[in-house]
Amino acid sequence: MAFDIDNYAETSEGVGWEDLDFEIFRTDPLPENTLRSLRYMCDVEYHTVCYLRDLLVTPSHKERDVSAFMTMWNREEFWHGEALAAVLQMHGITVDFDELKASRLKLGWADKLGPLKQSLLGNIVGDDFVAVHMSWGAANEWSAVAAYRRLAALEAHPALSPLLKRIAQQETRHVAFYASQARARLEKSKMAQKLTRLALSKAWEPVGSSISEPAEVKHVMGHLFAGQDGVNEARRIDSNIAKLPGMDGLTIVESALRKRGIDLAA
């Protein structure tokens, strides 16, 4: 079934949390390892604008549906960041934008050549770049849905879990767009399949790896995906990716976890 971009744009809205009793965090606060994972997730959501910056100079922005989706996607991810920041604030953790900017500078995201490099690469590859972008986005969004649902289940907190489930539900619409676009484009081009398989197998890393210290990436991946339930979830993501045309046999998520020494149950 084709993704209805017009309906998506018309119904896009911020994730709501006003009806959730955040005051309960004062009497039932979250443990340190959960707060650490939430801060990582918050930073990733707020960082979406930087990914959008680079992608707007590639062939992706020339596609009407892709351009429209990316605009709304950026807004929704920012709203997710605001919701997570509100939870962190209840625990005395302030997400400071100057700090985020400093972190981006440290990691090279202020490099003015970044968009130029993306543009050159995208235009050299041509339309097949869009297939890579859509497939990469699908892998990231499947991972995001799994991460939010896993943390909601692990914590089972009366205020946090409903919020995370709402965010995950919005992320499923992102999955639907990316996956439907990826399938359609991969089916049309064997070259797109080869480029996408190469990119995912050689360059894909867990969401947030490029903006976080390795210790933080390992903590979050271990927190969410260690143990039998966690590895089952990781394999479910890989199974979804492997169903894309030309991607059979890929296990990029499980491989990334093993690379980081995460204790997998099986």
Q: In the prediction, which pLDDT does 2 show?
A: 75
How far is it, in rounded angstroms, from Cα 27 to Cα 158? Answer: 12
The answer to the question of residue 95 being in a domain is yes
The answer to the question of residue 133 being in a domain is yes
The answer to the question of residue 211 being in a domain is yes
The answer to the question of residue 106 being in a domain is yes
Q: What is the DSSP string of 159-203?
A: THHHHHHHHHHHHHHHHHHHHHHHHHHHHH-HHHHHHHHHHHHHH
DSSP percent split of the chain into helix, strand, coil, nearest 5: 75, 0, 25
The answer to the question of residue 264 being in a domain is no
Q: What is the DSSP string of 37-61?
A: HHHHHHHHHHTHHHHHHHHTTSGGG
How far is it, in rounded angstroms, from Cα 222 to Cα 216? Answer: 10
Domain count, the chain: 1
How far is it, in rounded angstroms, from Cα 201 to Cα 227? Answer: 24
Q: What is the DSSP string of 212-226?
A: S-HHHHHHHHHHHH-
Exposed / middle / buried, residue 153 (Cβ in 10 Å: 0-12, 13-18, 19+): middle
Instruction: Give the other-Cβ count within 10 Å of 216's Cβ.
Output: 17
Q: Report the CATH number that the domain containing residue 149 is assigned in CATH.
A: 1.10.620.20
The answer to the question of residue 266 being in a domain is no
The answer to the question of residue 137 being in a domain is yes
Instruction: Give the other-Cβ count within 10 Å of 131's Cβ.
Output: 28
The answer to the question of residue 200 being in a domain is yes
- The whole domain housing 117 covers 29-259
Q: What is the pLDDT along the chain (266 residues), one digit of tens a residue?
A: 578 999 998 999 999 999 999 999 999 999 999 999 999 999 999 888 766 666 666 666 677 888 888 889 889 999 999 999 999 999 999 987 666 655 655 555 444 434 434 544 545 456 788 899 899 999 999 999 999 999 999 999 999 999 999 999 999 999 999 999 999 999 999 999 999 999 999 999 999 998 888 999 999 999 999 889 999 999 999 999 999 999 999 999 999 999 998 877 65
- C-alpha pair distances (Å), 29 with each of 149, 166, 242: 19, 20, 39
- C-alpha pair distances (Å), 254 with each of 90, 247, 266: 34, 15, 11
Q: Which of 47, 220, 235 is nearest to 147 (CA)?
A: 220
Q: In the prediction, which pLDDT does 71 show?
A: 86
Hey, what's the torsion of the CAs at 179, 183, 185, 186, to 10 degrees? 120
